[in-house]
């Protein structure tokens, strides 16, 4: 078989004959994926039709469009749990997203589901997160009196705000998975999207424990006893236990929505839930985050109110190209502020008020 290695004499590469065209991957998917796995077909189900790619399946293309988006790059400066932490080892929304994608791919491959679809959904699932994480979401809800949800905003990012005004033109399956990636949203329509729901929870619970220990807010022996006993005594063991349980318990031999599906066993789910309740009490709703809430509220309330009242395009107002020009002002303000990174929100606040944001140090 010929390869794509360059010949030593520096002459052009020989013709690559072992390339796998998209059709071959699709035919492999038809044979190899579990009966309930989602097959990619041609250019995929898209709002605007386009020609199929010669090499990549529809879901590979969606994954690549998400990775190349500006919203994806901004995730590196958005809060996971701690606002703009000083330490280099804390998770950000970007590293959270990558950990979700890793876990989702592991589960998808083990279950013979479509790994590319699971990866695309995972990489896109948090694109609509505000600066300062869930705290920012709460402030937008309060100040703007709307039902803001980051999953719905993630869909808006890929459908409208990236490559305005037409969006990334992703497949229906990827948008459905992003839209329903949170457990308090509707049920998604593919097994791969259910995989991402589990992967998201498995990822954040474990890396947030890890970061809370790093910040000195927790120690391993304070976790509920059942967690160490059933899942393991460190993050790596716990992730392995949770992932293995999903793989062992799920049944994807039928279409999504029928009996079985991607599930976790009841006893393991209960232990994971106990860990989640513990994290809410100690960290997510605990004193450290209450302290951060002061910063998030001060900064975002100022920005939202300022942009609603100052003339669009003025130095102290909403930039003329923010959001989608032509949309209602409130919609544009929400799109603009929600898209900000923590550090851009803080810089903008400091520029507009002449005051420092007084960040907590983690
Ligand atoms: Mg997430």
> 180 falls in which pLDDT band (50, 70, 90)?
very high
CA-to-CA separations, 310 to 132, 234, 302, in angstroms, rounded: 24, 51, 12
Convert the pLDDT of each residue in 325-360 to its tens digit. Answer: 899 999 999 999 999 999 999 999 999 999 988 776
Domain spans of the chain, in order of start? 1-32, 54-280, 289-353
Ligand 1 centroid to 97 CA: how many Å? Answer: 6
Residue-wise DSSP of 154-197: HHHIIIIITTTTT-----HHHHHHHHT-STTSPPPSSHHHHHHH
Average pLDDT value for the chain? 92
Ligand 1 centroid vs 298 CA: distance in angstroms? 25
Among the listed residues 52, 50, 55, the one whose alpha carbon sits nearest the alpha carbon of residue 22: 55
Task: Please state which architecture CATH assigns to domain 54-280.
Answer: Orthogonal Bundle (1.10)
Token pair recorded at residue 260 = 């079985």
Is there a contact between 80 and 136 (Cβ–Cβ < 8 Å)?
A: no
Protein residues near ligand 1, an ion, with CB under 5 A: 126, 200
Give the H or E element holding residue 356.
none
* Average pLDDT estimate for 63-71: 98
How many Å lie between the centroid of ligand 1 and the Cα of residue 204? 7
pLDDT band at 5 (very low <50, low <70, confident <90, very high): very low
Evaluate if pTM is beyond 0.85.
yes
Q: In this predicted model, what pLDDT tens digit does every residue of 274-316 receive, in sequence order?
A: 999 999 999 988 887 777 788 889 999 999 999 999 999 999 9
Q: Residue 82's pLDDT is what?
A: 76
Q: Which of 339, 281, 315, 314 is nearest to 154 (CA)?
A: 339
Q: How high is the pLDDT of residue 240? A: 98
144-175 pLDDT, tens digit per residue, is 989 999 999 999 999 999 998 789 999 999 99
What's the CA-to-centroid distance between 99 and ligand 1, angstroms? 9
């Amino acid at each position: 078989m010929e390869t794509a290695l360059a010949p030593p004499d520096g002459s052009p590469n020989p013709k690559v004959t072992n390339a796998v065209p998209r059709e071959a991957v699709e035919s492999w998917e038809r044979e190899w994926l579990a009966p309930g796995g989602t097959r990619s077909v041609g250019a995929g189900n898209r709002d605007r039709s386009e020609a199929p790619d010669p090499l990549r399946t529809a879901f590979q293309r969606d994954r690549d469009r998400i990775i190349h988006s500006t919203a994806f790059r901004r995730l590196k400066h958005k809060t996971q749990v701690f606002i703009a932490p000083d330490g280099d080892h804390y998770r950000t929304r970007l590293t959270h997203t990558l950990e979700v994608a890793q876990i989702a791919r592991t589960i998808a491959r083990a279950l013979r589901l479509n790994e590319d679809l699971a990866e695309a959904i995972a990489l896109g699932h948090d694109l609509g997160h505000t600066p300062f994480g869930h705290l920012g979401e709460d402030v937008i809800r309060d100040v703007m009196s709307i039902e803001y949800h980051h999953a719905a905003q993630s869909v808006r990012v890929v459908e409208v705000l990236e490559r305005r005004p037409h969006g990334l033109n992703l497949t229906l399956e990827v948008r459905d998975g992003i839209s329903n990636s949170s457990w308090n949203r509707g049920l998604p329509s593919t097994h791969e999207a259910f995989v991402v729901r589990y992967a998201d929870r498995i990822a954040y619970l474990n890396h947030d424990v890890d970061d809370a220990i790093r910040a000195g807010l927790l120690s391993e022996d304070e976790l509920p006893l059942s967690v160490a006993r059933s899942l393991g005594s460190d993050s790596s063991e716990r992730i392995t236990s949770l992932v293995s349980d999903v793989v062992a318990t799920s049944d994807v031999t039928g279409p999504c929505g029928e009996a079985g599906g991607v599930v976790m066993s009841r006893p393991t789910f209960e232990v994971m839930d106990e860990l989640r309740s513990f994290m809410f009490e100690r960290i997510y709703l605990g004193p450290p985050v209450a302290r951060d809430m002061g910063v998030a509220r001060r900064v975002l309330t100022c920005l939202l109110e300022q942009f609603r009242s100052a003339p669009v395009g003025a130095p102290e107002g909403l930039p003329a190209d923010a959001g989608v020009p032509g949309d209602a002002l409130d919609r544009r303000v929400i799109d603009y502020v929600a898209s900000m990174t923590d550090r851009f929100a803080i810089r903008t606040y400091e520029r507009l008020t002449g005051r420092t944001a007084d960040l907590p140090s983690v």
